[in-house]
Amino acid sequence: MPVQGAFTILANESDQGRRLDAVVAAHLPGCSRSLAVNLISNLEILVDNQAKKPGYRVKCGDKILGRIPAPVPTEYLPEPIHLQILYQDSHIVVINKQAGLVVHPAAGHRSGTLVNALLHHCPDLEGIGGEIRPGIVHRLDKDTSGTIVVAKNTAALENLAKQFKSRSVQKIYLALVYGELHADEGTIRLPIGRHPVHRKQMSTITRKGRSAETTWRVRERFQGITLLELTLKTGRTHQIRVHCATMGNPIVGDQVYRSRKRLKNAVSILSGESSSKVDALKAVPRQMLHAWRLGLTHPHTGEVMTFESPIPEDMVVLMEKLAGKEQSA
């Protein structure tokens, strides 16, 4: 975050013809292009005392006057929600998100979210977009557990966003799916977009699908159920859930992309072995999907880092029952 207060930039020959937002970002240490755009749009920056657009082409000799206002508190309130923090420094925080926790406040979820929790746990958050708030780079569904990285300042947010956009971030998930796959590994390449009928769902049958690729390999086989390790090459909404369902192997417990036929088949197979296995399968409260491993380059140090979230207890217990093992004391 750049130093708060007034500043003056006298454009030189090297600034000639460059965009105003780029010139401001280049001259002010810690100022990102997005912050410069916001300041210019909010009339916090003037050129020769005149309002300009962010795309204004600077001329040599232009006098750029501006002010960096102090970041204001976000409208969301900090809440002492339990978080398992895997890593934290002044630039990023990495969380093992528990199932049931919504990532970002939205209609119907104004509180009780990961953002509310981070406002409580991270008092060193810097201004992002003029607000003191955590920078959400990517999201996990409410009932998906696992690893998520959050930026603490604008520079970290923009750097991580570029990494996700360039697909240089490693994203590996674990999922229990219905059915027994014949192959040990494979790749799904099917575009994903809004379902043509059910608008809250995603589908591979869509008019405006975006390319999506998921690779998978079998980690463990149970009767009627398979544990898969899945790597996302892209990051579409509900990508793993949709691709697995399209393969004919929907994720266990997924109430949106479920298959009653697959559940019935699994129950039929397990009925001959143990009623406790059937009961455990029917009692699954959420999709058995876990963001296991996240690999990225630290936005400030450039260090390549990998974070892992242990498999959550509900998945462990289910797998132990499917394997016929007793839960550890």
Q: Which residues are catalytic?
A: 141
What are the C-alpha distances in Å from 71 to residues 3, 9, 39, 136? 11, 22, 12, 17
Element (H, E) at 131: strand 131-132
What are the C-alpha distances in Å from 116 to residues 42, 148, 150, 239, 265? 27, 15, 13, 26, 41
What are the C-alpha distances in Å from 82 to residues 58, 104, 287? 49, 16, 21
Closest CA to 313 of 299, 301, 328: 328
Q: Which residue has 């979230």 as its token pair?
A: 309
Taking the C-alpha atoms of 26, 28, 32 and 37 in order, what is their torsion angle to the nearest 10 degrees?
-90
